[in-house]
Amino acid sequence: MPHDAPAAATGARVARRLSVTGRVQGVGFRPFVWRLATREGIAGWVRNAGGRVDIHAEGPAEALDRFAAALIAEAPPLARPKAGPVAPAAPTGARDFAIRASDAGAGVQAHIPPDLFTCDDCLAEMADPAARRFRYPFTNCTQCGPRYTIIRALPYDRPATTMADFPMCPDCAADYADPADRRFHAQPLACPVCGPRLWFEGPAGRIDGAEAALAATLACLRGGGIVAAKGIGGYHLLCDAANPDAVAALRARKHRPAKPLAVMYPQAGADGLDALRRDLAPCPVAAAALADPARPIVLCTARPDSRLAPGIAPGLAEVGAFLPYSPLHHLLLGDFGGPLVATSANLSGEPVLTDPEAVRTRLSAVADAMLHHDRPIARPADDSVLRPIAGAARPIRLGRGAAPVEIALPGRLTLPLIATAGQGKAAPALAWGDRALIAPHVGDLDSPRALDIFAAVIDDLARLYRVAPERIAHDAHAGYAGTRWAATRGLPRLPVWHHHAHASALALEAPEVRDWLVLAWDAVGLGPDGTLWGGEALAGRPGAWRPAAGLRRFAPPGGEAAARAPWRSAAALVWATGRELPRPPDGAALARGAWERRLNCPETGAVGRLLDGLACLILGLDTVSHEGEAPMALEAAAAGGRAREVALPLAPDPAGLPRADWAGLVAYALDSDDNPRDKAATVHASLADLAARIAATAPGAAVGFTGGVAQNRLLAEALAARLEGAGRPLHLPRLAPANDGGLALGQIAEILARDGAVPAWTDTKETR
């Protein structure tokens, strides 16, 4: 409590300056402060100052004490305030409390608010025929609506957003200026008179007007058509999720034969999930995640009697589902009356499209019609994706509603930096001081457009936060697009080994831990020995990882071609054991010759590639259309299977590193009479047993599991159960994805260790 002026007697008027940091922009915090001050009879003012809120408050000391406590205890539900310093101030004799214009300085303390779902008050107003915003597709207030995707500059005020293009009408201006109105200082405020507008484009031409455009969209969807519809962070491709022909047409036109499609459900019932539960059975963790204000896509188990088209998630037991999060989505889903496929409107692997002209140009062969609006999207934001694993909703992709994700670092960086992540699932990051900011998912950096968006996102965040990066952390693989991009920036470059970054991202979540054993299992990544890692157990801590165990290496012919052809991994496994492929595909003979001469057959011990090969041998998957398809199919096949445990013996390699021999699993897959479900279950049980035995070799270390394979729920939960039985918890990522979407955070952690900024990590440096 501050020491007020000595002359202030009990009940006398005193003044204080207060500062509040954290998430206090874009969540109605200043209007909340005004209402709180009015309630307590306090005069003064509040204003944004970069990323904090500054308050000058005058009144009786007792009232100021209550006011200061309530700033945190009664904050708006979406705010995350942190109390800053409180200091005595000179009274000014103010008679009322005012919201002042923002101070544009001190931008480095800013916190960009995420895009928010539509609140219940706005939904009720949209449903009221007597309301001015009845069925208005862009309704919002201080507790809901777009934020990150409309902000052009900080502080967050209307002139610094894409809503600056829409001058408020007198009625909206009155709402904005009325402290008693829930739209008081709501920056995206709009109504049908002055706000954004919808229009429809179809074979018959353009249709203007919200109701006419919605009706045309619904008619197209009900007729089995595909519509590209503009949302908050970009366009979705929509079609009837219960219409097999519509789903098949979408897959064919988008050249997406097997990758799962997300499904949006109408919000219904007390918790909003009644319509969704008709087809899916969300566990309690999934149900809570679905209702979160971020409104992410959440993987849920499909019911046997689901109405969804079989092509939604072919061969899988789970469907990615989510609830409407914008007023437009609520209108579409409510009027349609059933689930709609809502997949990103993009070309495969690229960032989601945000501009009407780009959609017309690039998706004219995919969509039958388009639903546009004229509120500009300042930057793309794909939907977030979560999967319930081991009692928590784990991020698979960070995007709209969740990102940018800010993480407090356990130490301070000596210089600000950019972290570029990897080649696929790229989500770059910015870090300075004790703050790390992970950008929303960009995608695979395999196209010029993806790389352009990647660079723009980095520059955009640096500009918004007024941070000048002075170095770049990147993957050590010289061929990655992010690594090549780093070479063009003229800044010092700091390479980080791929799996060290995976392990360090997880270790950053528990920086007090000094000794780790982290299973970093994924497809492939370049290791310090020049081979492709992906099945390593790493011991140590950020900045000081060393291999503790691995898998026996094998050499899939064709190098990177193995990512889309599991038969190549299967061939390398069976040839290495002196066997032959039971069903040699076209090209196998040529590949055998290359394998024997080791031509373009890089060695790897990656668990992801092992699972690719076993999926080929067990399920007959010779080729796939997207990364992870074969292991996902193998996990789905294991549901309900009876598992054995095939021993995978650990023995030292010539360098003394224990390596697990997978030969027994290959022989089992080829020779056993078990059905495919039992074989798939046995693969998972055997790998979980192996992981537990590796963990047992380091009894005093904290055990972590990360990399793309850690997103396998069956494997992760089986390992967690084994370790729990031994009295050891399993650490799984919760802040950033276990896959390559979390690499940037791990790169930051590695540089933090090199800077000597974390006490538990400071006695060693990374060995290379």
Sign of CA dihedral 525, 527, 532, 534: negative
Residue-wise pLDDT for 124-164, tens only, equals: 999 999 999 999 999 999 889 999 999 998 878 899 999 99
Strands 263-264 and 340-344: antiparallel
DSSP string for 230-274: E-SSSEEEEEETT-HHHHHHHHHHHT-SSS---EE---BSTTSBH
Q: How far apart are CA 333 and CA 266, in angstroms?
A: 5
Amino acid at site 454: F
The answer to whether the CB of 672 falls within 8 A of the CB of 646 is: no
Q: And the tokens for 172?
A: 């909206």
| Interatomic CA distance for residues 318 and 312, integer angstroms | 10
CA 768 – CA 763 distance, rounded (Å): 16
- Mean pLDDT, the chain cut into blocks of 10 residues (768 residues total): 47 88 81 91 88 91 94 86 90 90 61 88 97 97 92 87 96 91 91 97 96 98 98 97 98 95 96 97 98 95 97 97 98 98 86 93 95 96 97 97 92 97 95 96 90 94 93 97 96 98 98 96 95 97 97 96 97 97 95 96 97 98 95 96 96 96 98 98 98 96 98 98 96 97 98 94 56
Domains for the chain: give ranges and CATH numbers. Answer: 13-109 (3.30.70.100), 198-373 (3.90.870.30), 404-501+751-760 (3.30.420.360), 510-732 (3.30.420.40)
Instruction: Give the DSSP letter of residue 554.
Output: B
226 closest CA partner among 203, 205, 207: 203
Per-residue three-class SS string for 412-439: CCCCCEEECCCCCCECCEEEECCEEEEC
Find all residues with CB under 8 Å of 358, minimum gap 6, and list them: none
Q: Give the integer Cα–Cα distance in Å for 679 and 666.
A: 11
For 110, list phi and psi in degrees, rounded to 5.
Answer: -65, 155
Alpha-carbon Rg for the chain in angstroms: 28
- Strands 340-344, 280-281: pairing kind: unpaired
Cα distances (angstroms) measured from residue 515 to each of 520, 534, 699, 706, 754 = 15, 21, 10, 16, 17
Q: Report in angstroms the alpha-carbon separations of 226 from 201, 312, 423, 683.
A: 12, 14, 31, 40
Closest Cα partner for 708 from 733, 730, 689? 733
Helix (H) or strand (E) holding 534, with range, is strand 532-540
Q: Looking at residue 665, what is its pLDDT? A: 98
Cα–Cα distance list, 423 to 181, 417, 542, 744 (Å): 47, 19, 22, 11
Nearest to 136 by CA among 337, 340, 331: 331
Q: At what angle do helices 629-637 and 713-725 cross, to 10 degrees?
A: 60
Please say whether the beta carbons of 410 and 762 come within 8 A: no
The answer to whether 21 touches 73, Cβ cutoff 8 Å, is: no
Task: Convert the pLDDT of each residue in 581-596 to its tens digit.
Answer: 999 999 999 999 999 9
